[in-house]
Amino acid sequence: MQYFATQNTNLQQLFDGAQDNSTIYLEEGTYRQKVEINKPLTIIGKGANTVIVWDDYAKKIGEDGLELVTFRTYTVAVCADNVTLKNLTIANDSGDSPTKGQEVALTVYGDNFVAENCTFVSEQDTLFCGPLPDDLIERYDGFLKDKLRKSIKCKQIYTNCTLKGTVDFIFGCGDCLFENCTIVYRKDSRKGGFIVAPAHAESQQIGMVFYNCNFTKEEGVLEHSIYLARPWRDYGKTSFVNCHYDSHVTPLGFDKWNDTNRDKTARFAEYGNTQAGRVSWSKILSTSQVQQLLAYFNRELN
């Protein structure tokens, strides 16, 4: 089935009423709505000017009288397997995250997720790649909806996408491929920051893979002020393959996360365009290791 939406369409009603595996076409325009995708759907916009946007933030008080915290701030939450997004923008425009806290644009809590030619924009915590770490699944029992705290496989592929944010703006436990993506660090009042915050379990052997990605910045972001990644949990795993880094990325590359000992457990690695001066505990991948990572996503090393 095919469905069509304009700016006046209630997207939640449309998504909930559509048949499984349908395609929904969004006309260009701004959809100021907070929505969940609870079934396998393909949603296609008309380019970057097809925008779904909302403005929740972590310190905002919800209807239950409690702060939303990070995981209830999303503009769009994917809560089903086999969802595809194409040719659209998802944004959280709350702004001032140093004061308001985390502001998620997209939460993905499903397997076999695909995003193509999409833009994701916020400040701190733009994209949450589920699932949650086990300790937060337990902590948020009765607080988060069950579909946002399941222990499930969440394989995700982002192709030709643009991701914009500030601190930890790509984070979570998903096994994710970012292919030919542009990763833009935005300027805010903080003088430094971190791009990726993985929290994978020790048993996960894929993690987040950035392949042929361009790490760039907005004007005003200081040189050598931004780390590629820091481990949100002990065994966070991220690999950077044939990526390009602008001058905002510190030669150190990686941070161990505050006063932890995660430099002994985190799994950060590069291949191809590796930089001098990296921390001693990051790794260089072999060609065969890269091929194994990419094969998980049905990709080959070019």
Provide the pLDDT for residue 273. Answer: 84
* C-alpha distance from residue 10 to each of 38, 73, 189 (Å): 15, 19, 36
**What CATH number corresponds to the domain at position 270?**
2.160.20.10
Residue 131 is assigned to a structural domain of this protein: yes
Provide the pLDDT for residue 63. Answer: 95
Question: How many domains does one find in the chain?
Answer: 1
Containing H/E element for 2?
A: strand 2-5
Provide the pLDDT for residue 154. Answer: 97
Provide the pLDDT for residue 302. Answer: 87
Residue 107 is assigned to a structural domain of this protein: yes
Say if residue 90 is exposed, middle or buried (CB neighbours under 10 Å; 0-12, 13-18, 19+).
buried
Residue 301 is assigned to a structural domain of this protein: no
Provide the pLDDT for residue 275. Answer: 83
- The parent domain of residue 17 ranges over 2-296
* Low-confidence residues of the chain: pLDDT under 50: none
* C-alpha distance from residue 59 to each of 24, 56, 64, 97, 133 (Å): 33, 9, 13, 10, 21
Residue 168 is assigned to a structural domain of this protein: yes
The answer to whether the beta carbons of residues 125 and 102 sit under 8 Å apart is yes
Q: With left for phi above 0 and alpha for psi between -120 and 50, is residue 21 left, alpha or beta?
A: left
Express each pLDDT in 118-170 by its tens digit. Answer: 999 999 999 999 999 999 999 999 999 999 999 999 999 999 999 999 999 99
For β-strands 226-229 and 267-271, DSSP reports them as unpaired
Provide the pLDDT for residue 232. Answer: 98
Is pTM, for the whole model, over 0.95?
yes
Provide the pLDDT for residue 43. Answer: 98
